[in-house]
Amino acid sequence: MNTFSIRAFIPPLTLRFIPIRATRRYAVQAPGAPTFEIFSHQHKWMQKERAAADAQTSRNVDYLRDEVASRLCERLLDINRHFPHVLDLGANACNIARMLTLPSEDSPDAGPRSKRISKLTAADSSETLLHRDADLPFNNEIEIYRKVLSAPETLPYEANTFDAVLSSLSLHWINDLPSILSQVNNILKPDSPFIGVMMGGDSLFELRTSLQLAELDRRGGVSTHTSPLADVRDVGGLLQRAGFNLLTVDVDDIVVDFPDSFSLMKDLQAMGESNAVLAREKGAIQKDVLLAAEGIYRELHGNEDGSLPATFRLIYMIGWKPSPNQAKPLERGTGMFSIKDFLENEKNEEGGGDK
Amino acid sequence: MPSRTRPIDRVAAAAARCSKEGATYGKCIVADYNNVHKDKCLTEFLKLKECYLVSIRHGSN
């Protein structure tokens, strides 16, 4: 039987808005654990495009992404080697690239941080957001290529391509984290690092709890307004499962104070970080609930000076692709001297020395 | 640049003028937040909403 598809007549931009499910295809599922679809990629893409279309507002809310990208770059600089080709996965507005062109906060005179990076590829699914800052002067200071990903969970790169992969604040919208991490492991050269940071754990717990209480009182039930997020203990397991070695995972809390809960939600929207959970309630949130949540937020979490804190919990992760000549941890029980003696000696020398 | 104020800004401004009612409502919920049910603080909320509706009407003029 002939199937007639109208897909060919739809202009490419609107094509992205139409669910893939509207077309007929063979359903193929990879063997192994079934993948859960939690986030709507189409919706996320649309939010990012809309947010980036208003460039000025979008730049005003870059404070969080810039700070996080800057901290991520510091971690990259801790690795003392040259990186010929680096991938920035989920680049948003190329915040990492801009932060790399600035000098390090610890040594402002040492010149830009990008000295040790020859070529940076920035990949993101949202074209408007990715090219938002393409005309700014920092683009001339670093060799940067922008790549629009047509499918955010499939990386179009050959194995052993990159000398490092960075990812800042975009992994929390990925449905299948184990798969994307394995792909990252695959495209890395042996003995190369993956350095990522994602929202996790108790991010925005203040907003989450006040919306829940407000909905319970106003409507008698709770619906999803904030994403489910990975926890710190999950991340270690995920990296290990993807085949990374020498893992480092640490947590950083950034607390931002807002004048009211409406400005927090407005900023999140301008970042393109609104709710994109598939099971969310469609349509706008009720005004009654917003009004109630504002009162509860202020009462439950508010600061003494009248501002409202919002916690962003960032999980930094570093993993290395295995290689035969990589430094390995020693066998248990092979230590030749006690770390306690070493630290005590160090303290005594500092205390009794010239200082 | 868009010169008109967004609806959310008007809501925020109107809600800010009802901070007293908002605090009363918030206290009522937070007093026993493990046991919230529908319309637990209905009277407090209606006061808040009444103030908000008056406030947003004045704000738009």
Range of the domain at A321: 7-18+34-202+229-256+310-352
**Percentage of residues of chain A with pLDDT beyond 90:** 59
pLDDT score of A353? 44
Residue B58 confidence (pLDDT): 84
How many domains are contained in chain A? 1
Q: Quote the pLDDT of residue A218.
A: 92
Is position A269 within any domain? no
- The C-alpha atoms of residue A95 and residue A170 are separated, in whole angstroms, by 12
Per-window interface: A 307-346 vs B, CB < 8 A: none
Q: What is the mean pLDDT of residues A188-213?
A: 93
Does a structural domain hold residue A288?
Answer: no
Beta partners for residue A251, in sequence order: A315
| Distance from C-alpha of A76 to C-alpha of A65, rounded to nearest angstrom | 16
Contacts of A258 (CB under 8 A, 6+ apart): A264, A267, A307, A308, A309, A310
Segment B2-61, tens digit of pLDDT: 557 888 889 999 999 999 999 999 999 999 889 999 999 999 999 999 999 999 888 754
pLDDT tops 80 at residue A29: no
Which 3 state secondary structure label does DSSP give A94?
A: coil
User: Domain of A86: which CATH number?
Assistant: 3.40.50.150
**Mean pLDDT, chain A, whole residue set:** 87
Which residues make Cβ contacts (< 8 Å) with residue B38, sequence separation at least 6?
A: A216, A217, A218, A219, A220
Chain centroid to Cα A218, Å, comes to 34
Print the SS3 string covering B31-48: CCCCCCCCCCCHHHHHHH
Rounded CA-CA distance A55/A272 in Å is: 12
> Distance of CA A181 to CAs A152, A165, A185, Å?
13, 11, 6
A221 domain residue, yes or no: no
Residue A290 touches chain B, beta carbons under 8 Å: yes
d(CA B16, CA A307): 12
What is the per-residue pLDDT for B15? 92
Asked if the structure places residue A279 within a domain, the reply is no
Q: Which residues of B touch A265 (CB under 8 A)?
A: 8
Is A181 part of any domain?
A: yes
Does residue A28 form part of some domain? Answer: no
Task: Please give the structure tokens belonging to residue A275.
Answer: 């709710």
Checking if the pLDDT of A240 tops 60, the result is yes
Q: How confident is the model at residue A94 (pLDDT cuts 50, 70, 90)?
A: very high
A339 pLDDT above the threshold of 90: no
Q: Are A157 and A275 in contact (CB under 8 A)?
A: no
Mean pLDDT over residues A277-306, rounded?
90
Residue A24: is its pLDDT beyond 70? Answer: no
Please give the interface size between A and B, counted as residue pairs whose CB atoms are below 8 Å apart. 76
What number is the average pLDDT over the span A255-273? Answer: 94
* Residue A281 CA neighbour count, 13 Å, CB half: 11
Asked if the structure places residue A346 within a domain, the reply is yes
Lowest-pLDDT range, A102-111, A257-266, A268-277, A310-319?
Answer: A102-111
Dist CA A353 CA A49 (whole Å):
61
Write out pLDDT tens, residues A308-337.
999 999 999 999 999 988 887 778 888 788
Residue type, A218: R
A265: contact with B, CB 8 A cutoff: yes
Q: Which of A77, A127, A141, A82 is nearest to A105 (CA)?
A: A77
Q: A158-196, pLDDT tens digit by residue? A: 999 999 999 999 999 999 899 999 999 999 999 999 999
| B13-46 burial: b if 16+ Cβ within 10 Å, else e | bbbbbbbebbbbbbebbbeebeebeeebbeebbe
Assess A264–B contact: CB distance below 8 Å, yes or no.
Answer: no
Measured distance CA(A309)–CA(A253) in Å, rounded: 12
**Predicted pLDDT at A104:** 84
**CB of A48 within 8 A of CB of A152?**
no
Interchain contact, B38 vs A294, CB within 8 Å: no
For residue A307, pLDDT beyond 90: yes
Within a domain: residue A264? no
